[in-house]
Amino acid sequence: MAYVRTNERLSGDPSYTVMWRTGGSRTGQTQRETFDDEGAAKRFRDLVNGHGQQWPPEWVKGEGFVKQGEPEMPDSEKFSVYAHAYVGLLTDISEHTRTNYTSSSITT
């Protein structure tokens, strides 16, 4: 299970390191990614947990989500793609709930 460790830089400012073992096993290689923002670290931790203790697809260590050779997608579409992928990974919900979560009739 991935977790967030708070560190103190030499400047005294905090940094937040997400740590986990590949595949979630005791023998898996230790992985880490460091963030300046605690909220970003927690969101990344949740992504790692949601992807079976693996690096999220398209994530480049130290850079974030990077897709090479494809045009930039508007933020509203990025969220939609991410949200639908995340709902697809949820295991403890009913099909009715999954349908409601992915319904396109929800407006912002």
Q: Which is more confidently placed, 72 or 57?
A: 57
Residue 73's pLDDT band (boundaries 50, 70, 90)? low
Beta strands in the chain (DSSP E): 3-8, 14-21, 30-35, 59-60, 64-65
- The domain locations on the chain are 1-70, 71-108
- What pTM was computed for the model? 0.60
- Identify the three-state secondary structure at position 18: strand
Q: Would you say 41 and 17 are in contact if contact means Cβ atoms under 8 Å apart?
A: yes
Q: Which two tokens stand for residue 83?
A: 């949200």
Report percent pLDDT > 90 for the chain: 44
What is the rounded average pLDDT of the residues 84-95? Answer: 81
Q: Is residue 46 pLDDT above 90, yes or no?
A: yes
pLDDT above 60: residue 67: yes
